[in-house]
Amino acid sequence: LLDINLPNINGEFLLKEIFEPHQGNAIYTKKAIISNGWEGNVPVISSDTNNNGILCYISNEYVKKKDYIDYPCITWTVDGQAGTLKSRFTPFVPNNHCGYLIPKREDLYLPYLEIVMQPLFYQTAKNSSNKKVGNNQIENLLVRIPVNELENPDISIQKQLADKYFLVQEQKQNLLEKVKELSKITV
């Protein structure tokens, strides 16, 4: 049912070769936003892993232009559940507990990279004595990406692999729900 013939993933790239890492601004705290009356409809992303990382919402008029992220990127939690990744495709404002990775190339499929980099980021957090993941800890991580004959990332294979991963996750969730239903049956 599920074709699991996967291509050889033979490309390795330093994270700093494919992404430009940044951290958000410390001024965007929930307390500052509420007490200054800056509330609005732009999500402020923090290290919280609940609610897709949304701490609160801010009005765009109170956001510094360089802090308004309106392009696809991957965020990571700097602390808390340090190293948790999330692909983002809608505008947001990161605070200093949120790092974000700006792609340096067009041939990167962010959902795939989120999947393959997640264990690397968690391992980085695990090796940290204070369970934080900062820019300097990630820039030399080696990221495995399928490449084409020119040794450039192959975006079509990245999409195929991500689709297979999400299909397996969906099947797994369906099975867990069925197990839950079966455990409720009494004989």
pLDDT digit string (tens) for 112-139?
999 999 999 999 998 767 789 999 999 9
C-alpha distances in Å from residue 130, one per residue of 29, 133, 158? 21, 9, 33
| Closest residue by Cα to residue 141 from 161, 160, 122, 167 | 122
pLDDT at 78: 95
pLDDT at 184: 86
Can you give the C-alpha Rg of the chain in angstroms?
19
CB 44 within 8 A of CB 88: no
pLDDT at 86: 97
pLDDT at 26: 96
- The model carries a pTM of 0.85
β 93-94/42-45 pair status: parallel
| Closest residue by Cα to residue 30 from 83, 97, 84, 75 | 97
